Amino acid sequence: MKVAVYYNNKDIRIETMPKPVIGPGELLVRVDACGICGSDVMEWYRINRTPLILGHEIAGEIIEVGKGLTKYKKGQRITASHHVPCNTCHYCLTGHHTMCETLLKTNFYPGGFSEYLRLPAINVDRGVYPIPNEVTLEEATFTEPLACVIRGQRFAQIRPNLNILVIGCGIAGLLHIQLARSMGADRIIATDINDYRLKKALKFGADAAFHASEDIVEKLNDANNGMLADRVIICASAESAILQALKSIERGGTVLLFATPEPGVSIPLTFNEFFWRREITLTSTYAGSPADHTIALKLIRSKVIQVKDMITHRLGLDEIGLGFQLVANPKNSMKVIIEPHK
């Protein structure tokens, strides 16, 4: 079978390897669609572990069912988690499934940027989600990124009547905007350095969208009757985005560090200026739990979260190099979907 092997953002090679052989309790899946995630192009995070077969936002069809499995059948459409928790450790039992050691060690094989993949028994047991008839395969690839967003907003305690600032209007930012709107946010302001993405933010539910170079504090005060943001969601990895968030948060507010800055980035925080008497919370989030994936697929099915119009490019496996460049250097692109059998 063909696979796309990642060496760096500008070097993704189409190679061949044997189709995976499954064992008891496992599934063999034909990968029909796999999204390129922003984390896939974080070269600093990948480069010391290459070569890799990446791809975790998958959707496809079961073509072989391992011995002992009765819950799934050949021909069934599914999406699946690449990492799954144990559900019994301290972290899982206290609601921090994504901190579980098992989750950090599990994965499917070889990766979503391949024609076929094997789902190990533990993934089958805890991380397979049948795709409803109302959801297309390409829409189902948004299950994992939306699950991450759901978890982030739960940690940030997004609720009705809040003023929200979303910094960064890539896929994560647009999903955050839509989810916050569905949760009853009073006003949502978005910022980015890309005019194309600012227009997308307005399309997907932001009340206003401003270039990050503008005076965002002034814009917030004007929009929110003299108040800053109750919640700031950072979906951009630049240090300037974090600094902007700290300037934009209202007393009693929460800043969600959703995006990942490069290693070595440190932000000076003066306790008295940012915390004392202001009750500001800084929180972060990583990945999504199985429950978050289930909720995500339901939100996609119900069209509460619209994802189809976020897709700007559908490419075959042979075009994956172009796909990585579109994600790494976005100008007029949003979601890039790889279709390995195209």
Which amino acid is residue 262, in one-letter code? Answer: E
194 band by pLDDT with thresholds 50, 70 and 90: very high
Mean pLDDT score, 117-135: 98
**Cβ–Cβ < 8 Å for 22, 28:** yes
Q: What is each CA distance from 33 to 20, 77, 263, in whole angstroms? A: 18, 11, 31
pTM to 2 decimal places: 0.97
The whole-number pLDDT of residue 229 equals: 98
Q: What is the pLDDT of residues 10-66, one digit of tens each?
A: 999 999 999 999 999 999 999 999 999 999 999 999 999 999 999 999 999 999 999
Average pLDDT score over the chain: 96
Beta-carbon neighbour count of residue 249 at 10 Å? 23
pLDDT per residue as tens digits for the range 142-177: 999 999 999 999 999 999 999 999 999 999 999 999
The domain made up of 157-284 has a fold known as Rossmann fold (3.40.50)
Q: Quick one: which of 149, 137, 175 has its CA closest to 314?
A: 137
Burial 171-199 (b: 16+ CB within 10 A, else e): bbbbbbbbbbbeeebebbbbbbebeebbe
Report the chain's terminal Cα–Cα distance, integer Å.
14
User: What is the structure's pLDDT at 123?
Assistant: 98
By DSSP bridging, strand 335-339 and strand 311-316 are: parallel
Q: Which pair of tokens denotes residue 57?
A: 């936002």
Domain with CATH 3.40.50.720 in the chain: 157-284
Give the residue range(s) of CATH 3.90.180.10 domains in the chain: 2-144+287-339
For domain 2-144+287-339, the question of CATH label 3.90.180.10 is answered with: yes
Strand 163-167 vs strand 187-192: parallel, antiparallel, or unpaired? Answer: parallel
The answer for residues whose C-beta is within 8 angstroms of residue 295's C-beta and 6 or more apart is 147, 150
147 vs 29: CA distance, rounded Å: 21
Query: CA-to-CA distance for 324 and 113, rounded, in angstroms?
Result: 12
Q: 193: pLDDT confidence band, cut at 50, 70 and 90?
A: very high
Confidence category of residue 261, pLDDT binned at 50, 70, 90? confident
Dihedral sign (CA 144, 147, 153, 158): positive
Neighbours of 98 (CB within 10 A): 20
